Structure 1
Amino acid sequence: MAPSQHRGCSVFLCFQLCFIVSYFLLCTNKVSSQHYDYFACNVIKNPEVKNYRFCDETLDVESRVNDLLSRMTLQEKILNLVYRAGGVARLGIPEYNWWCEALHGVGATGRGTNFSSPIKAATSFPQVICTAASFNSSLFYTLGKVVSTEARAVYNVGLSGLTFWSTNVNIFRDPRWGRGQETPGEDPLLTSRYAISYVRGLQERDDGDKYRLKVSACCKHYTAYDLESWKGIDRFHFNALVTKQDMDDTYQPPFKSCVVDANVSSVMCSYNQVNGKPTCADPELLTGVICNQWNLNGYIVTDCNSIKVMFKSQHYTRTPEETAAIALKAGVDLNCGSYLSKYTLAAVQEGLASEADVNRAVKNNFAMLMRLGFFDGDPRQRLYGNLGPNDVCTPANQELAREAARQGFVLLKNSRGSLPLSPTATKSVAVIGPNANVTTTMIGNYAGIPCRDTTLQGITAVVPTTYFSPGCANVACVTARVDDAKRISAIADATILVVGADQSIETETLDRVDISLPGQQTFLVQEVTKVSKGPVILVIMSGGGMDVQFAKDDPKVTSILWIGYPGEAGGAALADILFGFYNPSGRLPVSWYPQSYANNVNMTNMNMRPDPATGYPGRTYRFYRGPTVYTFGDGLSYSRFSYHLVKATNLVSIPLGEQHFCKRSSCQSIDASEQTCKIAKVKVNLRVKNSGRMRGGHSVLLFWTPPNVHNSPQKQLLGFKKVFLTPKEQGTVRFNLEVCKHLSVVDKSGNRKLALGMHVLHVGSLKHYLMVSI
């Protein structure tokens, strides 16, 4: 872990300050330790700053930033183009480390956060792929709110910055991708909805100020980034060849939603090239799309050392100075790395870049810090200033971690009489497998230091007679040790096999080759199943899907439950599901393929749509044509939910002028930009009933099959709503759709088109037909 970037105060200064404020701090017990150089405009440390206009918070940000830039030299500006920003000591601006992470809790991976006294941990929520399986937008938002509160508390004690490079909104295109666990899955709509809710939760302030931020979020990695290291090809050298159609209907929508709908304050460009250009050097992608089309109100940051990568690894430029200039002129404002601090001055002197380019970037960076209150003096005197150690790892936050895990667990198979286990009739359980008693594995990557972990304790709290055998030395499971595992399974009332992956199998810099259970885990499951006395529950801990067709087909494997990487409360949440204290409601956010998919499909093929000429089957449930083990949206409950269509639009007619081309000729589609098209609406109202005996949540997924034009998706998610119903209770779910926005497809040129003809809306087995005509 990197040391904090913040220096401690002097003994003399601490004595003076403690004399003034210690009584308040001790009585509130909110902030017990502070570092006094983690914010600018500190009038106690430097009284002169009260005369600087950039320290006057009553002025608008534009005026403040312009004043600040007018006082800085070119060299001082350049030192603030990198994540370890040099500040301007003579103006009372301390150094600042921009690199903080908050993917699923305040993270320890960013160099700008340091867990130490008085805050040594933070709530570790489930990894994103698990949370996304809840299909619950309000949960996504709540998690963001709680994470930002804990982040502010850590900042207030001088142990973190306020700029968090989260969240990851890349599409989980291929099951082998090591970082797919960080994402909300394979669907553009689910990913977009997650991004909007989580980013708003992080950034929005309780006082309603739309311009200032609670913390700054970041959507990454822009764009078409989803390969780490696979069969000798790595992310630093990979050139993603992407069609205009796939770019606009799959890879870009989550980023657009981040900027346009969530008003995210930062976007991070990726390592890879897209169609021959490094993303951090492409002015069309950065300035053209993010800034000009989407109107980003914030800054663009590079992935760490990606500017260096384009010179050293991709050989895209001839000199380091040219590299720095190209990145700046493309629209980069901040370099996670050191290239801009080392080579920008020479680039300006050589005429490759201008001071205006530097000014634009520095202005965006300092404007961000001003929106966060970094230039408003002591944060303890501001909104959120009273947050401290007592606001981190609270009982409520830890219970939320447990609830988020429970909502994200996906029950994939459940034979009659298997789950839930009776907490009274079950006298003993055998818990077997390499992931059966893990802690670090549960929190996934980009994690912080959890408040506490629950593993087997969750099960032993319900059934004290719990036998344990790992079965393998680790998840690689080179050799399965089955004798002890078989012995305890043969005597226990129920067997729980916890298998899957961890960060040695899938993570940043590491993609999978196989998508079956690693090593001899399959053999372990099969051997244990043969001798088990009671039901066998297979629990899979992983980010990506696994080929578990053998277990799906085996009647002795009575239940299959996927739990992602469930966070610090994973063990307790698992027990809640297994013993029926909580009704599972998660649904898969990704498709699970057979191993043959990994054998036959090249991971570097970025095309979403199938190619019959080559046998390429396409990707994700939207386009893939081939067998699956389980598919996107699959998930069972202990209750049965039924649907009744209450109201739905049957016909949409788009009025066009008499001179319109399609009035004189047959058209399969019209431009979705037509003004008359934009006002058309579709309503779908459903009644949902819990017909079971147990209260539970249920995610209602509305899918759509458009007419087969422009190589359209075979099926696509249009919306989702989460409802919680008691036994026999009914609830109403309403979907309000804009025809041109929600029922349009993208053609080969990247233009959005409204297909004419019969559209089919699906909710479960219920289908509704909608005619769109002119």
Structure 2
Amino acid sequence: MKKSLISLVIALSVCACSTSQPSGETGSDSAPAYQNNDLDMPTRVRDLVSRMTLNEKVGQMYNDAPAIERLGIPSYDYWNEALHGVARAGHATVFPQAIGMAAMWNRELLFDVASTISDEGRAKHHYFASHDARYRYTGLTYWSPNINIFRDPRWGRGQETYGEDPYLTGELAVQFIHGLQGDDEHYLKSAATAKHFAVHNGPEISRHSDNYVVSPKDLYETYLPAFEKAIVEGDVEAVMCAYNRVNGSPACGSEMLLKEILRGEYQFDGHVMSDCGAIADFFDTEAHNVVRSPAVAAAWAVTAGTDLNCGTGRRSVFANLVWAVQKGLLSEELIDQAVERLFMTRFKLGLFDAPDRVPYSKIPLDSVSSDAHLKLAQTATEQSLVLLKNDGILPLKTGVKVAVIGPNATNQDVLLGNYNGLPTQPVTPLQGIIKQVGADNVTYAPGSPIIADVYGHWQVLDRSVLFHEDTSGNLQPGLNADYYAVERLPVSDFTNLRGSANWAQTPSASRVETSMSFYFERSPVNDEVLGNFGAVWSGLLIPKTSGSYRFNTQGELYLDGERVTAAVPLQAGVQYEIRVQQLFINDLMENTAAMTDQFWALEWVNESRDLLAEALTAAQYADVIVVAAGISPRIEGEEMPVKLEGFNYGDRADIDLPDVQQQLIQALHKTGKPMVLVNFSGSAMALNWENENVDAIVQAFYPGEATGTALARILWGEANPSGRLPVTFYRNLEGFAPFDDYNMENRTYKYFDGEVLYPFGHGLSYSDFRYEALKAPSTLERGQDLTLTVTLSNLSDIAGEQVTQVYVQMPDAPVRVPNTELKGFTRSALNGGESQEVSINIPANELVYIDEKGKKQPYTGALKISIGDGQPGYAGQGKIQTSVVTIQ
């Protein structure tokens, strides 16, 4: 509805819609208080909510809140994602996955990244809103960051976190939140959300039914500190509660978590939303099954403090709140409280004020994926790459001939991770290396699948194999593309709520498409932003090589009139009639547009190739082999339908490289060629054989759209590696408790007693950094900050950046405490031969231990201090300085 019409509706209806004089109303002839920009926001919010009926208020407690036109309230969907770039809303700058951004160990850079993300989010939101596109992923309430602790390397969603350490996670969370939310005195640039509160980090397969039992000590020592920082220091606007139960109570109904801790101890005043479908888990007989009806589940959640129900696509439980109020299960005042919290966020975002009052509304759309943003992404990627091992082969020499081998060499999935946007300039490892040294100096082979029939070297079908006949009957490259107007039909099949449509008899637009990969921001039928349409691509497929081909597409694929659903044999030079059709219709149940979160593509892979033989041939022509190996977000992630050897529905069952890749690497090793392994994964890998036999290893995580460029610069020394591990890389899972055991004993670097492959905080450089002359007080009064100063020198002639880390040990604590614990870090840039003093302050509130009741206690006694290149016991000679401070 146009703004002028909305104003007219408000003027005509505002008095009639209220059953009592609303707070803040100054008279029947004046504008309602909620429209008065000069009033404070709480007053405006209370006035607006007071004008709503109970049904209207309950409707505003869904993630896809409907419009209330008589009050001038547009529809709004709270669900949006910004984990490492604006996600699922079309093109955006894609930064390294969260675990990779943690590997930067750089507060300032992470703030800049988050600020850039919110710039792009603002620009995209205003663009979509100007076209009245109010679907999921178009709003300004971002459900990021994920600050759960990556306590177990098997967790598939650990890639979304900042690693295993509560201190590092909390410090980074604060910067990310500040970057997303902006620094305006009156308005939020966007609203950040800390998730998942709390005690949530796998297993994925059973998270809807699991009850995780934690001691008060583990709760406050491991699972809550990052949330406390996010709320108290970060002033995060929203919190998402988790699926699981905690000590018997569903997290979204836990009064201990939501009332006593979140609202009580942390004084949180924002809104709380459920994870999507979590309230339905209360009564689902295959989930928690702790109540019998949706109304009781809804009343429980709201009473405990959950304000927003995400999950209209999976039982919109809060739809039962009107009945729950009628039956006395909760009061309408609790509904008012929840709705006021939700509208406070929308008012802070400026969604009810004129754009010229909101400074962030002026961010232009062309800021999305701008040159400056892409340059920042490259910087972030370079700082996220962790050099795990280097026998001296790196940096590579100019003129070297390289064989780039491995299933992730051309795999765009590993650039992106999960919860990602669509990159505008993605650079794969192969592309980056070719650009660095020239195509004449590079040979390539995929070498193997990632695992089983999961491939990383899918190829988009294009003009080289796709043809159509012109009016003279001659073959021309590309397929005929016909785009049809469609008319949505009423739902008649209630087992398929997404809906169906009638197609127009003739296409509205036709053209030739020469590459079968698209992103449709606008309908090709009528140019409507995120509009509906049907598409048919037809012509001839003429393979160049015979083989058994597997296809990958979201559409319906037909060859010679037969539907293709499995691998098919194809002969080189033979013409096959090909037809692909796809209905792009927006999902009203999920409130999602058909084309916001992914590219549409038609890809294939020839499963008949002898990939290992091809790899050995490629290696013959090279001086050095770069292996792009690892796993993929296609097999590790959130509650995935993946059950393979070593993988369990998104989680890991072991942490080794898949066997087929181990065989590839060992076969390449036998060639005697020097080898660099680049491992892509969102989680720790047991690279034991590789550590013993490969010359250099780079841990890449999922590094963003600038991957290939940044990687090549690191390999050839144009950039100096400076990333550090935010998780421990273990040798195996021996001694680990069951995955669903949330006791922290023998987990993470803080409590693990075994031998590790690469410790938390590890990372190598091409520079030779040394530490000396630590200045620390011999004694410290309890309650005082601790300031440490050390001299850092770069003894090499190579400029680089160094992450200085501070760890403490508390041997005189009267309870079990961590073996060692990170309490400070900073980055320093030094030229070759340069020295500088590095000073790190540890606040007094970090010099505490957690007692058995979960309470913080000031530590007294001998405090062992280590400052330098990593953990005590792992950092080499000259790489660390130690001292003992007596706290009195």
Same fold (TM over 0.5): yes
Deviation at 1:536, TM superposition (A): 0.4
- Asked whether the equivalents of residues 243 and 281 of structure 2 are also in contact (C-alpha less than 8 Å), the reply is yes
Q: In structure 2, how many angstroms separate the alpha carbons of the residues matched to 1:74 and 1:686?
A: 62
Contact 2:170 2:226 survives alignment (8 Å): yes
SS class of match (1:643): strand
Map of 1:769 onto structure 2: 883
Of 186, 194, 202, which residue of structure 1 is paired with 2:172?
194
For the pair 1:203 / 2:181, whether they are aligned, the reply is yes
1:384 partner SS = helix
Match of 2:549 in 1: none
Once the two structures are superposed, what CA deviation does each residue of 1:724-764 show, in whole Å capped at 9, x if it has no partner?
1111112222112233x122111111122233322111123
| CA distance in structure 1 between the partners assigned to 2:761 and 2:8 by the alignment | 57
TM-fit CA distance, 1:370:
0.4
Tell me how far apart the structure 2 counterparts of residues 212 and 225 of structure 1 sit (CA, whole Å).
31
Q: How many residue pairs end up in the alignment?
A: 681
Q: Which has the larger radius of gyration?
A: 2
Measure how far apart 1:371 and its partner are. Answer: 0.6
Whether 2:407 is the aligned partner of 1:430: answer no
How many angstroms does 1:766 deviate by?
A: 2.9
Paired residue secondary structure (1:462): helix
> One-letter code of the match for 1:553?
E
1:23: which partner in 2? none
Partner of 2:873: none
Q: Kindly provide the amino acid, as one letter, of the partner of residue 244 in structure 1.
A: P
After TM superposition, the structure 1 stretch with the greater mean CA deviation from structure 2, 290-299 or 170-179, is: 290-299
The alignment status of 1:460 with 2:442, answered yes or no, reads no
Residue 234 of structure 1 aligns to a residue whose secondary structure is coil
Distance in 2 (CA, whole Å) between partners of 1:744 and 1:770 is 16
- 1:382 alignment counterpart: 358
Secondary structure, counterpart of 2:279 in structure 1: helix
> Secondary structure of the equivalent of 2:345?
helix
Residues of 2 paired with 1:707 and 1:44: CA distance? 71
For 1:218, which of 193, 211, 215 is the aligned residue? 193
Equivalent position SS for 1:484: helix
1:635 aligns with 2:763: yes
Greater helix content:
1
1:528 lines up with 2:668 in the alignment: yes
Partner of 2:507: none
Residue of 763, 784, 800 corresponding to 1:696? 800
Aligned sequence identity (%): 37
CA contact (8 A) 2:203 2:739 kept: no
**Contact 2:654–2:733 (CA<8 Å) still a contact in 1?**
no
Deviations 1:623-649 (A, max 9, x none): 000121111011000011111234211
Q: Which amino acid aligns with 1:266?
A: A
Query: 8 Å contact 1:458–1:571 — kept in the other structure?
Result: yes
1:41–1:375 Cα contact (<8 Å) kept? no
2:245 is aligned to: 273
Select which of 258, 274, 288 maps to 1:314: 288
Structure 1 residues 397-416: aligned runs within 5 Å: 397-416=373-392
Deviation of 1:441 (Å): 2.3
Relative to its length, the structure with more strand (as a share) is 2
1:347 aligns with 2:318: no
SS of the equivalent of 1:721 reads: strand
Relative distance call for 1:476 and 1:687 in structure 2 (3 A) is farther
Which TM-score applies when normalising by structure 2?
0.75
Separation in 2, partners of 1:265, 1:290: 12
Q: 2:273 aligns with which of 281, 287, 301?
A: 301
Q: What is the rounded CA distance, in whole Å, between the counterparts of 1:180 and 1:628 in structure 2?
A: 19
Shift of 1:141: 0.5
Deviates more, 1:756-765 or 1:61-70: 756-765
The reply to whether residue 101 of structure 1 matches residue 81 of structure 2 is yes
The code of the aligned residue for 2:288 comes to: Q
Query: Structure 1 residues 683 and 368, CA, compared in 2 at 3 Å: closer, same or farther?
Result: same
Native 8 Å contact 2:402 2:625 kept in 1: yes
Equivalent in 734, 737, 742 of residue 601 of structure 1: 737
Within 5 A, what are the aligned runs for 1:23-38? none
List aligned pairs for 1:582-593, cutoff 5 A.
Answer: 582-593=719-730
Aligned to 1:650: 778
CA contact under 8 A between 1:756 and 1:772: conserved in structure 2?
Answer: yes
Aligned alpha-carbon RMSD (Å): 1.9
Q: Is the counterpart of residue 152 in structure 1 residue 125 in structure 2?
A: no
* Matched-pair contact (CA < 8 Å) for 1:280–1:332: yes
Q: Do the aligned residues in 2 keep the contact of 1:263 with 1:297 (CA within 8 Å)? A: no
* 1:241 corresponds to 2:195: no
Displacement of 1:44: 8.3
1:537 matched to 2:676? The reply is yes
* TM-superposition CA deviations, 1:246-284 (whole Å, max 9, x none): 100110001111100000000000000111111100112
Counterpart in the other structure of 1:356:
333
Is the Cα contact below 8 Å between 1:477 and 1:520 reproduced in 2?
A: no
TM-score for the superposition, normalised by structure 1: 0.85
Q: Which amino acid aligns with 1:66?
A: R
Identify the residue that residue 447 of structure 1 maps to in structure 2: 420
- Per-residue displacement from partner, 1:523-559 (whole Å, max 9, x unpaired)? 11111111043x20000000111111101111xx110
Q: Could you say which residue in structure 1 is the equivalent of 2:308?
A: 334
Aligned-residue offset at 1:386: 2.2
| 3-state SS, counterpart of residue 69 of structure 1 | helix
CA distance in 1 between partners of 2:360 and 2:158 (Å) = 34
Question: Residue by residue, what CA displacement relative to the aligned partner does 1:141-190 show, whole Å, maximum 9, x if unpaired?
Answer: 00111000000000111252111111100000000100000000000011
* Equivalence map 1:27-66=2 (5 Å): 43=7, 51-66=31-46
- 1:238 is displaced (CA, Å) by 1.1
In 2, are the aligned partners of 1:228 and 1:508 still within 8 Å (CA)?
Answer: no
| 1:551 and 2:690 are equivalent in the alignment | yes
Amino acid at match of 1:504: R
Aligned partners of 2:450 and 2:661 also within 8 Å: no
The Cα shift of 1:384 comes to 2.1
Q: Is the 8 A contact 2:450 2:631 kept in 1?
A: no
**How is 1:585-734 mapped onto 2 (pairs within 5 angstroms)?**
585-597=722-734, 600-609=736-745, 618-653=746-781, 677-678=782-783, 680-709=784-813, 710-734=815-839
Q: 1:720 to 1:651 in 2, by over 3 A?
A: same
1:369 aligns with 2:369: no
Deviations 1:556-589 (CA, angstroms, capped at 9, x unpaired): x110000100011111111010111100000110
Preserved contact between residue 707 and residue 756 of structure 1 (Cα < 8 Å)? no
Which is further off, 474-483 or 280-289?
474-483
Aligned to 2:618: 488
Whole-Å Cα distance in 2 between the matches of residues 530 and 62 of structure 1?
Answer: 70
- The DSSP-based 3-state class of the residue aligned with 1:139 is helix
**Unpaired stretches in structure 2, ≥5 consecutive residues:** 15-29, 455-606, 640-649, 869-878
Q: Compute the displacement of 1:440 (Å).
A: 2.4
Q: Judging changes above 3 Å, is the alpha-carbon distance between structure 1 residues 321 and 45 closer, same or farther for their aligned structure 2 residues?
A: closer
Q: Provide the secondary structure at the position in 1 that maps to 2:839.
A: strand
Partner-residue secondary structure (3-state), 2:164: coil
Q: Quick one: which of 650, 654, 658 aligns to 1:514?
A: 654
Shift of residue 501, structure 1, vs aligned partner: 0.9
- 2:824 and 2:841 in contact (8 A); partners too: no
Aligned-partner Cα distance in 2 for 1:127–1:54: 40
Query: Which amino acid in 1 is paired with 2:864?
Result: V
Distance in 1 (alpha carbons) for counterparts of 2:6 and 2:628: 53
- Check whether the contact 1:429–1:493 (CA below 8 A) recurs between aligned residues: yes
Residue in 1 aligned with 2:202? Answer: 227
- Structure 1 contact 41–92 (Cα < 8 Å) conserved: no
Report how far residue 425 of structure 1 moved. 2.9
User: CA, structure 1 residues 42+460, in 2 after alignment: closer, same or farther (shift >3 Å)?
Assistant: farther
SS in 2 for 1:385: helix
Contact 1:476/1:519 (8 A) holds in 2: no
Instruction: State how far apart, in whole Å, the 1-side matches of 2:853 and 2:267 are.
Output: 23
Alpha-carbon distance in 1 for matches of 2:333, 2:436: 65
Counterpart in the other structure of 1:128 = 98
